[in-house]
Copies of this chain bind each other. A is one copy, B any other.
Amino acid sequence: MQRNRIDLVWSALADPTRRGMLERLAEGETNITTLAAPFAMSQPAVSKHLTVLERAGLIQRTRKGREHHIRVDPRPLAEAGTWIEHYARLWQEQFDAVDAYLKARSGKASNRKAPTRKTSNRKTSTRKRTSSSKRTRERKPR
């Protein structure tokens, strides 16, 4: 359910295989077979990862005969980096402010014990969904 480019960029980066590919591409343009070699997965799986990277705009392909040459496009990453930098600064200010506040008002160390939630036995919930329910959902066995 990706709405826009930056969603695609971040979900593309969220996979270690795809990050590995991008890291490898920092050394230079390659064809797909070479790029895929270090990864213990089937060729179609690699192809799917490359499709994800391409749809995020992070790579470009060039066909040379039967080989597809892949190179990285740094521009979407620059955008993502800009977003991070912008908010990292704001968040850091926020974080520092709270931290300073806490330090200023408390000379004491932590007495932060857990709130001790009583082991609620809600497992006995019979899901009793009163008869006035609109959507009577039936349990389906799986």
Binding site for B on A (CB under 8 A): 2-4, 7, 10-11, 13-16, 22-23, 25-31, 33-34, 36-37, 42-43, 63, 67, 71-74, 77-78, 80-81, 84-85, 87-88, 90-92, 94-95, 98, 115-117, 119-125, 127
Contacts and interface: CB of A to CB of B under 8 A. Distances in A.
Given A4-B16, A72-B94, A81-B85, 16 more contacts: A3-B16, A10-B10, A10-B13, A11-B11, A28-B94, A28-B116, A31-B119, A33-B119, A33-B121, A34-B117, A72-B95, A73-B91, A74-B88, A74-B94, A77-B87, A81-B81
Contacts of A31: 119
Nearest to A16: B3
A113 to B, nearest CB: 12
B95 A84 contact: no
* This chain's copy number in the assembly: 2
Given A15-B7, A80-B84, A91 B72 contact: yes
Contacts of A29: 94, 98, 115-117
Contacts of A115: 27-29, 63
A117 to B, nearest CB: 5
Contacts of A43: 125, 127
Contacts of A84: 77, 80-81, 84
